[in-house]
Amino acid sequence: MKRSSPVIPPRNLLMNYGAHDIGRFPLSCCNPGGAEVCARDSEIIADAIRAARTHEAEKVLIAIAWNDERRRNLICERLRILPVPIFLLPDRSSEMLLTQPLMNMGRSAAIQLQRAALSRVELFVKRGFDLILAILGGIVALPLLLIVAILIKLESAGPLIFKQRRRGFNGREFTIYKLRTMNVLEDGPNIRQAERNDSRITRVGSVLRRTSIDEVPQLLNVLLGDMSLVGPRPHAVAHDDQYSACIADYAFRNHVKPGLTGWAQVNGLRGETAQIELMKRRVDYDVWYINNWSLWLDILIVARTFFTAVWAKNAY
């Protein structure tokens, strides 16, 4: 059976470890994983030890497959005669893992393959920002909401508040609140997106949707902890199921709470997503926001929301 050769790191890789080599000693291909080091390897290790002493080496780097445990231990046993540190370089199967952060787990260590979108401190800061602005916004918006409520009731029959199931953080379902802008109350497996000149939208509702005033009751969702002021906009559960099946990163949006406004919305991606490419662009913006979150970014998005709410052409 043909045996694989030991991996020899290139010279530029050694520079990544802050080292330059005084000698390179490729091991033979004989007896990998065997009970003892072959005669040829014994000679190579002896040569390496002599070179290390002659040139006063400061460290020894070993490049060998990590799954060749027995051979690795035997080589290390021979090198113990040298009073210098000995390092095992990562092989291809372990290099990616070793770039990840380590976490102490009692007497063991775990490799972090994926981090939470926000740390506990960041979550605390974001939640504080949400509560302060949601309370202030609710107080300021209360007189406007009373006037709008009267107009909605005068124009059409039906409830003042529209409720619909949405998915939030970690895919948990919650009930979202909006001012009613249509003469229908859809919340099922088949929900038609609002379109330009949609006959279902009332005259008052058209104004509310263009200015995003219909979203103001979601301040209550923020206070309840279902939503944040800024985050990926939540979609109806039926639409979530549809887009999750055809957009790879769609579920990544649920790594943070959904928002009243978001990075996608202030960059012109509001309204109907008739083509799947439009939703993919929206998801790209949402993923960028999650990966680059900061309090200042939230403040910027909130500030830009006031301007886009007035000038947006694709909100209806």
pLDDT tens for 97-124 read 767 777 777 777 676 666 778 888 999 9
Model confidence at 4, pLDDT cuts 50, 70, 90, reads very low
| Chosen domain end from 103, 136, 171 | 103
For 76, the token pair is: 């290390």
Work out the number of other CB atoms within 10 angstroms of the CB of residue 185. Answer: 11
The answer to whether residue 242 sits within a structural domain is yes
Report how many helices (DSSP H) and strands (DSSP E) the chain contains, helices first: 10, 8
The answer to whether residue 6 sits within a structural domain is no
Q: Are 49 and 21 found together in one domain?
A: yes
pLDDT for the residue numbered 84: 82
Q: Are 80 and 139 found together in one domain?
A: no
Asked whether residue 258 carries a pLDDT value surpassing 60, the answer given is yes
Q: What is the pLDDT of residues 118-156, one digit of tens each?
A: 888 999 999 999 999 999 999 999 999 999 888 988 888
Strand ranges for 139-287 from DSSP E: 161-167, 173-179, 228-230, 259-261
Region 214-229: what's the mean pLDDT? 95
Tell me how many degrees the CA angle 76-80-86 measures, rounded to the nearest 5. 60
Count of structural domains within the chain: 2
Under 8 Å between Cβ of 264 and 232: yes
Work out the number of other CB atoms within 10 angstroms of the CB of residue 134. Answer: 21
Q: Are 156 and 279 found together in one domain?
A: yes
- The larger pLDDT score, comparing residue 51 to residue 96, is at 51
- The larger pLDDT score, comparing residue 75 to residue 271, is at 75
For the chain, give the percent of residues with pLDDT over 70.
78
The answer to whether residue 108 sits within a structural domain is no
**Residue numbers of the domain that contains 84:** 11-103
Give the span between the Cα atoms of 80 and 82, in whole angstroms. Answer: 5
| Chosen domain end from 72, 103, 134 | 103
For 302, the token pair is: 């909130």
Model confidence at 1, pLDDT cuts 50, 70, 90, reads very low
Region 173-182: what's the mean pLDDT? 89
What is the number of residues in the chain?
316
Q: Which residues contact 182 (CB under 8 A, 6 or more apart)?
A: 162, 194, 198, 200, 201, 202, 205
Model confidence at 304, pLDDT cuts 50, 70, 90, reads very high
pLDDT for the residue numbered 221: 96
| Chosen domain end from 45, 68, 103 | 103
Beta strands 108-111; 102-105: pairing state? antiparallel
Q: Which residues contact 188 (CB under 8 A, 6 or more apart)?
A: 238
Long-range interactions of 193-201: CB distance < 8 A, separation 24+: 193/239, 193/272, 193/273, 193/274, 194/271, 194/272, 194/316, 195/272, 195/274, 195/316, 196/272, 196/316, 197/316, 198/316, 201/316
Q: Which residues contact 309 (CB under 8 A, 6 or more apart)?
A: 211, 212, 315
Asked whether residue 228 carries a pLDDT value surpassing 80, the answer given is yes
The answer to whether residue 110 sits within a structural domain is no
Q: Are 39 and 126 found together in one domain?
A: no
Model confidence at 5, pLDDT cuts 50, 70, 90, reads very low
Asked whether residue 312 carries a pLDDT value surpassing 60, the answer given is no
